[in-house]
Structure formats: C-alpha cells, structure tokens
Amino acid sequence: AQSVTQLDSHVSVSEGTPVLLRCNYSSSYSPSLFWYVQHPNKGLQLLLKYTSAATLVKGINGFEAEFKKSETSFHLTKPSAHMSDAAEYFCVVVGGKLIFGQGTELSVKP
C-alpha cells in the first residue's frame, strides 16, 4: 500500500525566510508524488509533480521539491516566503486516485 507522512502539522516562518515542508512516502514501487496547496475557502491547486523524470521539480510561485529515493522523502521548499504563501499544503502519492497526507499549515509572519 502507498502512503505519505507529513512530518509537521504546522510550520511558522517569517516573511522573506526559507520554507521547508517535510514529506516522507511509503511505496513498494517508484511512486509519483504531487504537492497541492489549499488556501482558505479556495479549491486545491497543484503546486508541482514528480513522475520519475528529473528528481528536482520546480513548481508554481517559486516552490520546488526534491525526490530522494534513499531517504523516501519529497520535501517542499521555497527560498523566500511571502505572506500569500500562508495556506495548507498537502503531499500526495499518486496511483490513479490521490492519497493525501494529513497536511501542513504554513503561517507567514510579517
């Protein structure tokens, strides 16, 4: 069975500082992994996806993630946080249907 674990339920950063949202996956074969973002009262939006091509994946709004098979990780990063990045972030393993992690709430302080 496939699953993802998001290691932090809440992350707080100051505007302009780096963002790191951690995700570990479990899969018996090479997985496809996505990150989605959910802003309050808005629908889920795809940030980026890994589908076994380049291990460093760039997404929208300056986010990127690196697939590390040896660590079974797919952490999401951004060099400099913006106030508009405050939202819920979900790591997802893909097998036709999407299997979501529990989510990480990102707060950005001015």
Partner 1 sequence: DTGVSQDPRHKITKRGQNVTFRCDPISEHNRLYWYRQTLGQGPEFLTYFQNEAQLEKSRLLSDRFSAERPKGSFSTLEIQRTEQGDSAMYLCASSPGRTSTDTQYFGPGTRLTVL
What are the residues binding partner 1 (CB under 8 A)? Answer: 32, 34, 36, 42-46, 49, 51, 90, 94-103
Quote the CA–CA distance of 79 and 3 in Å, as a whole number: 27
51/55 with CB nearer partner 1: 51
**Do 66 and 56 touch, CB atoms closer than 8 A?**
yes
96/110 with CB nearer partner 1: 96
CB of 73 to partner 1, least distance (A): 18
CB of 101 to partner 1, least distance (A): 6
Quote the CA–CA distance of 56 and 54 in Å, as a whole number: 6
**Do 81 and 19 touch, CB atoms closer than 8 A?**
yes
